[in-house]
Amino acid sequence: MPSDPMSAGNSVPEGLSTAISLLKQRFGERLVTNEDVRRQHANTLTWIEGEPPDAVVLAGSTQEVTEVVGVAARFGVPIIPFGAGTSLEGHVNAPRGGICLDLSRMDNVLRLNAEDLDCTVEAGLPRGRLNTYLRDTGLFFPVDPGTEEATIGGMASTRASGTTTVRYGTMRENVISLKAVLADGRVIETGGRARKSAAGYDLTHLLVGSEGTLGIITEVTLRLHGVPECIIAAVAGFPTLASACDTTMAAIAMGLGLARIELLDPLVIGAVNKHAGLTLDPLPTLFLEFHGTPAAAREQVATFEEIARSEGATSFSSAVDEAERKRLWKARHDALWTVREAWPGRTVLVTDVCVPVSRLAECIAETEIDIAASGLTAPIVGHVGDGNFHALALHRPGDAEELAKVLAFAERLATRAIAMEGTCTGEHGIGQGKKRLLQIERGEAVSTMASIKSALDPMGILNPGKVFDRP
């Protein structure tokens, strides 16, 4: 048994040590209580303090997950599902202690149905490995949160999305069905492989985005897509953020089939140039990608350039070369680390608002004014084709005053987005960090969420303290 200086000592349930002993007998070395391992399984990436679990179990199958849940339910012990721990809102913390259920060993592709464009995978499979597996099939899985390591189960649980969402959708659109273990140990399958179904309540999409609070996902059936015949990347520089946003809105309104449209502000471009050896002008910049037949992709590029120039774009270049494209997108995906590197000694609070695309320019303009008035440094990047952007609010770790300032800024930004009929989180989820904002955003609907939680997990053992606090 670990000593518990790091878990929420006085609220640890009485049966915890018995539960851990029983699981130790069953899982042997795959139950770990070593302090370093427990710390690695708490939140490590953001301002939210890590709250490690009391033990980590490395599960290998749905059956083993049911066994862990069975013991936890018997003793009322919290279970925190864990994929790769790349979530950003304290999702994997253990505020009441308990058992972290690490699914990273469940990383097999179980079935590939190339003719139906779908596959079934275990929940712990990293998304990068899925695309490596698919490399020679002519298919790919498009949802791409910044990290290759993010697992399919973690991504389903946070309803993740990324740079390609403007064309291929989020996890909501790309999960066909799931297998999950509920809090009472029942194993459910939420659907088959049919592309549509009207069979009863939509449990697939209840679990997608439930952040480990309603069930533990063990298998996921995913939609795949054909690798496009032609892919062209492009970079466009603008005099102002407003002109980059107006170009985005015009291109989306026109139904131009963009596969990616990402905004990077001059601060991010400066950091990216340094980190990735690029030589882009330090201007508000759009990174773009077009998919299709060679003729269709080229036509889209030409139309986009026309729109961009009419909005004042000062530069536009495109490339088909794969190595060049990869370099560009790696630079975009590394933006968070790049910004941290460019401001040594600072850490970042990553905001995540999303508004209707027609309100994007207005929301970003007001946010720029707010950043300047607050005296903050907060470079902006965004999946702007979806109206989603992140202000990366820099502050010194351990400086409570600065943290309070960036938190106040983040709250103003979120309420601004909500007032524009948007959301406080386009893709990262609620976790511990945005519970208050969820309440502001969804009001009475949160009590309906709480009713669903109570029905499916009456003892509240699944990832407690996330999404909302129980009444």
Q: How far is the CB of 93 from ligand FAD (least distance, A)?
A: 9
Q: How far is the CB of 103 from ligand FAD (least distance, A)?
A: 5
Q: How far is the CB of 87 from ligand FAD (least distance, A)?
A: 3
> Can you tell me the distance from the alpha carbon of 161 to that of 142, in angstroms, rounded to the nearest whole number?
9
Nearer to ligand FAD, 85 or 228 (CB): 85
Q: How far is the CB of 262 from ligand FAD (least distance, A)?
A: 10
Q: How far is the CB of 81 from ligand FAD (least distance, A)?
A: 4
Nearer to ligand FAD, 99 or 297 (CB): 99
Nearer to ligand FAD, 119 or 216 (CB): 216
Tokens 């027609």: give the residue.
358
Cβ-contact 341, 350 below 8 angstroms:
no
Tokens 């939210």: give the residue.
48
Largest Cα span, the chain: 69
Cβ-contact 308, 278 below 8 angstroms:
no
Q: How far is the CB of 159 from ligand FAD (least distance, A)?
A: 8
Which position's Cβ is nearest ligand FAD? 154
The enclosing H or E element of 389 equals strand 388-395
Nearer to ligand FAD, 171 or 313 (CB): 171
Q: Name the residues that contact ligand FAD, by CB under 6 A.
A: 45, 80-88, 91-92, 103, 123, 145-147, 150-151, 153-155, 157-158, 160-162, 211-212, 216-217, 336, 427-428, 463, 466
Span between the terminal Cα atoms of the chain, in Å:
31
Q: Among positive and negative, which fits the CA dihedral 21, 22, 23, 26?
A: positive
Cβ-contact 208, 196 below 8 angstroms:
no
Nearer to ligand FAD, 91 or 260 (CB): 91
Nearer to ligand FAD, 81 or 228 (CB): 81
Q: How far is the CB of 116 from ligand FAD (least distance, A)?
A: 24
Q: How far is the CB of 98 from ligand FAD (least distance, A)?
A: 11
Nearer to ligand FAD, 45 or 56 (CB): 45
Q: How far is the CB of 422 from ligand FAD (least distance, A)?
A: 16
The answer for residues whose C-beta is within 8 angstroms of residue 267's C-beta and 6 or more apart is 339, 377, 379, 380
**CA 144 to chain CA mean position, Å:** 9
> Can you tell me the distance from the alpha carbon of 183 to that of 181, in angstroms, rounded to the nearest whole number?
7
**CA 416 to chain CA mean position, Å:** 21
Q: How far is the CB of 178 from ligand FAD (least distance, A)?
A: 9
Q: What is the DSSP letter of 51?
A: -
Cβ-contact 57, 101 below 8 angstroms:
yes
Give me 392's structure tokens. Answer: 């990366």
- Residue of 404, 228, 237, 257 lying closest to 320 (CA atoms): 228
Three-state secondary-structure class, residue 408: helix
Give me 333's structure tokens. Answer: 């995906």
Nearer to ligand FAD, 55 or 160 (CB): 160
Nearer to ligand FAD, 307 or 380 (CB): 380
**CA–CA–CA angle 7, 8, 12 (5° rounding):** 95
Give me 126's structure tokens. Answer: 């990293």
Nearer to ligand FAD, 172 or 412 (CB): 172
Three-state secondary-structure class, residue 230: strand
